[in-house]
Structure 1
Amino acid sequence: MGYKLIACDMDETLLNDQHEISQRNIEVIQKAKEEYGVKFVPATGRSFMSIQRYLKNLHLYDEVGEYILSFNGGALTENKGNRLMQFKGLNFDKMKEIFEYGLTKDVCIRLYTMDKLYVYNISESEAEKIEAKKEAVTIMEENTVDFLKDEPIAKILFQNVDVPYLMSLEPDMEPITDGEVTISYSSNRYMEFNSLGVDKGQGLIDLAKILNIDIKDTIAIGDNYNDVAMLKVAGLSVAAGNALDDVKKICDYTTKADNNEGVVAEIIERFIFNKTQV
């Protein structure tokens, strides 16, 4: 088997705790591209616009034939001109229902349009996270989303560092979400809501088909619940050393390295450069 595409989560997988890409990862990813023809595709819950600086680090910025899977699979873009290839957004009325439910709970709310991130009821921990990640956000003062009626909505999420609390909301939300929304969890602080059927796994399947790459020739790397769908469909599933135990259990391989030590470099060196199989 010759792996042709690596789909990799960003936060807590490719990025270290300072929200940067290590030089080791950069060098190995570039070698895999130049010498082995392997595509490296960031697969993130973030927007594609918000990770442009990382593309520059990886020498993938504005490149033809290089891609991003963003919004947990809600969008596929080609890096050249940020060309939108596929977008599966969330219905405005459904987003509004979720937003209004969140107003009654102990959560900070993050709302993503195609190119902007809005935050309501910002928590201290979230403010610190936003500053550390250098995210561009618009703080919402009013508890309404009606001003976004005509904007394409990518997703909405709730934030609380108490993940069991977030998970406890899921059964209560069934009248709103059942049959219409995909729910996932990430970064040990987010409960994410995408349109039904949208996840990183379907995004990887769609991109592989577009590129005429057999899904067996793909590697997926992740650490959290919103990565599970792509880990399940990829030819080789990899958990970062710092991944949740639930994620490690479903993967073919768990790296010795954590996100501060070069998770991606370890995988490329073992399974691309040395042609080692599981």
Structure 2
Amino acid sequence: MYRLVASDMDETFLDDDHLIPQANIDALRRMRELGVLFVPSSGRPYQSIMSNFADIDQSLLEGSYVISYNGGFINRYGDPEPVLSTTMDRASVEFLYRYGVEHRIAMHIYTPSGKIFTQFLPPEEARYVRNITGVIELEDSVDSLDFVGDEDLVKILYMNSDFDVVKRLGAELRPKLDPRLVDITYSSQRYVEFVPAGVNKGTGLLHLAELLGIDAADTIGVGDSANDQAMIEMAGLGVGVANVTDDVRPLCDLVLDTTGRDGAFPELVRRVIEPEHRL
């Protein structure tokens, strides 16, 4: 019987304004009634994820956890101190940041404290991140990582609205990076993400399941894009929302008929979770 649902946030659990559709809030309430734990799982920081839930009934997630930074961090819901954390090799981030500055690539740089530094963002991306907690825009003239001081770094990503350009960036940079230190993934049809080797939402889910004494077979992973792939594959049931990307769709055990922006979780509850509890 499924006991834990781990879900991606952007394009999966949230609408286009980074808000939780009312349908999904209703689904959270039903999952809570059925004793199923809902776990947000995102590439964003814990603090940013928490801001998405600030206006809902906090009892709906009481006793739950948050998987952030693509599986690199795990926090108890409501506790900013992580129970698991993984940071990135500094020299690798230095190289990627210098490369981004040299080529004036739109970038997001993430720190454990929840800051998301951005640079060279086109207007549409600047508008998109405006409602995300923790975003700090850098001047174009900044050309070193001095702005983070001694703080560790969690990941860096490049953005381009042309996904073919993004995939070429990933392919070009892969041989320049040590695979023992850095993994590459893609998200939202516009990001290439550079993360610590071995870190992904799937390993984050398995770490959490082990911590809670839940069999991986009793977990559900829900997502929409490549950075959700490991979570979808490693969960007991891998689920894609209707807008799941073509590369991830064949890997899903189930693809819902509802898009993330329209609130897909009542359909998940109705089709998967409630039938199990009627047995």
TM-score, normalising length from structure 1? Answer: 0.93
1:159 is matched with 159
| Counterparts of 2:75 and 2:57, CA distance in 1 | 16
Aligned length: 274
Q: 1:3 to 1:108 in 2, by over 3 A?
A: same
Contact 2:258 2:267 in 1 (8 A): yes
Question: What are the ranges of 5 or more consecutive residues in structure 1 without an aligned counterpart?
Answer: none
Provide Cα deviations, 1:177-210, integer angstroms capped at 9, x if missing partner. 4332111111111111110000001100100000
Deviation, structure 1 residue 82: 2.2
| Counterparts of 2:182 and 2:203, CA distance in 1 | 14
2:216 is matched with 215
| Counterparts of 1:185 and 1:89, CA distance in 2 | 19
1:97 is matched with 95
Q: After alignment, is 54-63 or 199-208 more displaced?
A: 54-63
Corresponding position: 1:185 with 2:186: yes
Q: 1:134 to 1:170 in 2, by over 3 A?
A: closer
Provide Cα deviations, 1:93-144, integer angstroms capped at 9, x if missing partner. 211111111223352111010121111222212111112x344321222111
Deviation, structure 1 residue 18: 2.5
Q: Which amino acid aligns with 2:14?
A: L
2:15 is matched with 16
Deviation, structure 1 residue 241: 0.3
- Note the aligned Cα RMSD (angstroms): 1.9
Secondary structure, aligned partner of 1:161? coil
Q: 1:62 to 1:245 in 2, by over 3 A?
A: closer
Q: Which amino acid aligns with 1:6?
A: V
Alignment map for 1:128-139 (pairs within 5 Å) = 128-131=127-130, 133-139=131-137
| Counterparts of 1:63 and 1:17, CA distance in 2 | 22
Q: 1:146 to 1:47 in 2, by over 3 A?
A: same
Q: Percent identity?
A: 34
Provide Cα deviations, 1:156-184, integer angstroms capped at 9, x if missing partner. 11011111111112232122243321111
Q: 1:192 to 1:275 in 2, by over 3 A?
A: same
1:127 is matched with 126
2:28 is matched with 29
